[in-house]
Amino acid sequence: MQHRGERRGLGGIFFDDLNDYDQEMLLSFATECVNSVVPAYIPIINKRKDVPYTDLHKAWQQLRRGRYVEFNLVYDRGTTFGLKTGGRIESILVSLPLTARWEYDHQPEEGSEEWKLLDACINPKEWI
């Protein structure tokens, strides 16, 4: 997000601007991605399932959800298009989280897991 000097998050795939690509190849790629989710995610769940979840974790989750709301309302093409063209507001905003949070100039404690995530969003690695 340009106004914050950080990325919205880490990883992920956006399927935008693909009209010029072979549809069968795209379907094959999407299928491969979907079929990879569970085998990749189960080890993460098994590793972290017993990690305590505290009020501090919930507060951080709410702050990150706030960033998602900012991104959606400021940058997301579908959302901004719908808002500018008189689309059904409920349909446009239904993807927003039920709860989110903002704090003025929030800075996570240096070295904390939250700080590491924010640092990665501000200084992302270029993997390709």
Give the span between the Cα atoms of 120 and 57, in whole angstroms. 18
Give the per-residue pLDDT at 12.
82
Are 7 and 75 spatial neighbours (Cβ–Cβ below 8 Å)? Answer: no
The structure's pTM equals 0.81
Give the per-residue pLDDT at 72.
93
* 128 residues of the chain, pLDDT tens digit each: 899 999 888 888 888 888 899 999 999 999 999 999 999 999 999 999 999 999 999 999 999 999 999 999 999 989 999 999 999 999 999 999 999 999 999 999 999 999 999 999 999 888 77
DSSP category for residue 17: S
Q: Quote the tokens at residue 101.
A: 């949070």
Q: Quote the tokens at residue 92.
A: 């446009």
The one-letter code for the residue type at 62 is Q
User: According to DSSP H, which parts of the chain are helical?
Assistant: 23-48, 55-74, 77-84, 89-93, 113-122
The one-letter code for the residue type at 5 is G
